[in-house]
Amino acid sequence: MTGPTGADEPTRGGMRLLRHNPDFRALWSARVISYAGDSLSLVALMLHVEDSTGRAFAIALLLLVGDFAPALLGPLTGALSDRFDLRRVMISAELVQGGVLLLIAVLLPSLPVLLALVAVRAIAGQVFQPASRAAVPALVRDRDLESANSTVGFGTNGGEVLGPLLAAALFPLVGVRGVLLVDAVSFLLSAVLLASLPRMSAPADEEAGRSSLLRDARVGLGYLWSTPVVRVVALGFCAVVAFNGVDDVALVLLATETFDAGGSTVGLLLGAVGLGLFVGYLLLGRYGVRASTAGLLIAGFAISSVGNLLTGLAWAVGAAIVMQAVRGLGIAAMDVASSTLLQRVVPEAMLGRVFGNLYGAIGIAAALSYLGGAVLLDATSAPTTLLIAGAGGTLATVATAWALRRSLSRTTLPAGVVEPEQRA
């Protein structure tokens, strides 16, 4: 791969990184546009399915096809990033997504055909995600990884928030078909931005060209399971998500049933997490990581889990909102720390597969959390569910901290993973 670009002096803060590193700026902009497009089309498609079928089950199928099904292909989608030039992989993924959305906009097909097309688009998005994460260390220096990942997280979440707002503004003007056409154009724009990046070819491998994609995927799974640090990070992340993922559903019932409040309170509770995320990404992007990356990861696991536990104990809506904002800070720390740690410890030739497997496993963990949490909510209450989720996530954090400390002690790692990196 090509080396990172930018000035020779240390680059501190995400905004300076965006100003002084045009390649990273192009990648960041493309990710923001891509994720805004994801959320924009999701709103449009949900409204189309509701209007054409009137069935909640059809919307649930749309969400499962769009989120859960691609997660099962994580080993394969990640292997593509390690097999081909990352720039080509990302551009191809964006063009496929744009082409599929154009086809949906023109046809507005029946539900079975629509679900098949949405699955194709979602798989292309699953290819883009690990490739764009694997590209970051090729475009920025090691000392800037925390700021770069924080800035990527901030932009990605900003795009996901912007998408529904754009949908709300566009629907009265252009309708469902028009919104989908706008989204298709957005993916084309993302591909144009990515075309300005340098080539980021897969590392030379004597097996290249002789191994199959399936074999590469199996090797990626084997690497993840056989490498202690990577295995602990992946299992710990998935365990925390499996316990805490239910909060999206539990918060709705906490507001409506426990606090006897309306839809605006639901919006405030869900929005508080997003506010915490934005603040967390801004702080990490501006000031970097003052502790070790591994320490930040464990802190993120703990804060996100304790945030749910304390939300279950909240005596008023205001207290619950504050706790969810704190939880958002923890989620930002989890994202930045896990990405940075993996980018530093995983060989370049395996990075796409590791991120593909991780994101796929997280998607499966979230789906399991929704299913198990729904059963728990029906059997108990929202506060009890949040207490159990937070307590389970906290126990998973303790176990991960112990396992990560053992694995790190046996592994030679770059500076900044265990000890705070010395910055000029």
Q: Supply the pLDDT for residue 62.
A: 84
What would the 3-class secondary structure string for the chain be? Answer: CCCCCCCCCCCCCHHHHHHHCHHHHHHHHHHHHHHHHHHHHHHHHHHHHHHHHCCHHHHHHHHHHHHHHHHCCHHHHHHHHHHCCHHHHHHHHHHHHHHHHHHHHHHCCCHHHHHHHHHHHHHHHHHHHHHHHHHHHHHCCHHHHHHHHHHHHHHHHHHHHHHHHHHHHHHHHHHHHHHHHHHHHHHHHHHHHHCCCCCCCCCCCCCCCCCCHHHHHHHHHHHHHHCHHHHHHHHHHHHHHHHHCCHHHHHHHHHHHHCCCCHHHHHHHHHHHHHHHHHHHHHHHHHCCCCCHHHHHHHHHHHHHHHHHHHHCCCCHHHHHHHHHHHHHHHHHHHHHHHHHHHHHCCHHHHHHHHHHHHHHHHHHHHHHHHHHHHHHHHCCHHHHHHHHHHHHHHHHHHHHHHHHHHHHCCCCCCCCCCCCCCC
Domain ranges in the chain with CATH number 1.20.1250.20: 14-194, 213-409
pLDDT value of residue 345 = 92
For residue range 198-230, what is the model confidence (pLDDT) as tens digits?
A: 998 766 444 445 578 899 999 999 999 999 999
pLDDT at 342: 94
Cα–Cα distance measured from residue 313 to residue 319, given in angstroms and rounded to the nearest whole number? 9
Architecture of domain 213-409: Up-down Bundle (1.20)
Which pLDDT value is given to residue 409? 80
pLDDT recorded at residue 413 = 56
Q: Token pair of 265, please?
A: 């309170």
Q: What is the pLDDT of residue 419?
A: 53
pLDDT digit string (tens) for the chain, length 424 residues: 444 544 333 345 667 889 889 999 999 999 999 888 888 888 888 888 878 887 767 876 887 788 777 888 899 989 998 989 999 999 999 999 999 999 999 999 999 999 999 999 999 999 999 999 999 999 998 888 888 999 998 888 888 777 877 887 888 889 899 999 999 999 999 999 999 999 987 664 444 455 788 999 999 999 999 999 999 999 999 999 999 988 877 887 888 888 887 667 777 887 788 888 888 888 887 766 556 889 999 999 999 999 999 999 999 989 999 999 999 999 999 999 999 999 999 998 899 999 999 999 998 898 888 888 888 888 989 899 999 999 999 999 999 999 999 988 876 555 555 554 433 3
Give pTM, 2 decimals.
0.82
pLDDT score at 168: 77
Q: Which CATH class is domain 14-194?
A: mainly alpha
pLDDT for position 334: 95
Token pair in block for residue 135 = 């590209």
